[in-house]
Amino acid sequence: MTDECLSRPAPSQHRFLWPVMATLLIFSWSSGFIGIRYVSQEASVMLVLFWRTLVSGLILLPFALAIDPRPRLRAIAGQMLFGVMSVFLYLGGFALAIEQRVPTGLVALISDLLPLAIAALSQPVLGERLSARQWLGTAIAVTGVLIVSIDSLSFGAAPVWAYGVTVGSMLVFAFASVLHKRQRMGHMPVHQSLCIHTLTASVLFGICATMQGDLAPPLTRGFAIGITWLVLVATFAAYSIYYTSLRLFPVAQVSAAIYLSPPVTMLWAWALFSEPLTTAMFAGLAVTLVGVWLTSRS
């Protein structure tokens, strides 16, 4: 997909479709953080992520084998490496932070800084220069995250290292994305690449879960509901709505909707899990959104 295709104005026939798509995108995007928070009450996050990635990969496997030509071994190996970084380390790090009770909204906020981190890493790795406005926007966005983080530290519910894991996970995915772009791997349909990512990560999550106990899922209603939610809503629905939106609407418009997921996540976490909401959190969120707007606007 070309940049011109991504940035073209939305056709008039899709004008009334956007509010529906944006609502579904924000809902499904934020649901992943809430789903992890919910099901982590039933089992360790490694066991949760093992079953989430395994079930997702097995559902996608027949489609990956039957639709489109089978990819070459080199392409598969490249996608497996990307899966280690983008699913195992990235998703595992965020899930571990949520398990350690880092505020779920803050985890979502740091996660949505991924495009800014990719832009910043593109200069040393890809030689793509950022404008002064983009650097200013990045600095403002990071300041907003620090405001929310410092306020969250005052609650004392999570160890300091868990906050570092959250930031590190986001940076790992950003670095993996930049390397993936530099290597210019051949195009692979999303159902094939996502299948490879999830199955690769499931092996690693399975090893981690085995070290903590066994791979048997808890036979509870909460665990079943949580895994179903994570697979159908946070994985399949979120990806499908995201890529469909990119085909129909400008990329900046779609990105703006995703940046609204942290406040929605904060509200969900407050309503479902009684996680605190403070004025500093919303102030930091507002500062971050200003920085993101400065960096991403055309």
Indicate the burial class of 132 (C-beta count within 10 angstroms; 0-12, 13-18, 19 or more): exposed
Question: Residue 2's pLDDT is what?
Answer: 40
At 20, list the tokens.
Answer: 């529906």
Count CB-CB contacts under 10 A for residue 97.
29
What's the CA gap between 258 and 238, in Å, rounded? 11
Rg over CA atoms, the chain? 19
Question: Residue 15's pLDDT is what?
Answer: 66
Please list the pLDDT of the chain residue by residue as tens digits (298 residues).
344 444 444 445 556 788 888 889 889 888 888 999 899 889 999 999 999 999 999 999 999 888 877 778 888 888 898 889 889 999 999 999 988 888 888 888 888 777 777 767 766 555 556 677 777 877 787 787 778 777 766 665 778 888 889 889 988 888 877 776 666 555 678 888 889 999 999 999 999 999 988 899 998 999 999 999 999 999 899 888 887 887 787 766 676 677 778 888 888 888 888 888 788 878 888 887 787 777 666 5
Please state the pTM of the whole predicted model.
0.80
Question: Residue 110's pLDDT is what?
Answer: 84
Count CB-CB contacts under 10 A for residue 19.
9
Question: Residue 89's pLDDT is what?
Answer: 93
| DSSP track, 253-275 | HHHHHHTTHHHHHHHHHHHHH--
What's the CA gap between 71 and 82, in Å, rounded? 15
At 252, list the tokens.
Answer: 């900046």
Question: Residue 19's pLDDT is what?
Answer: 84
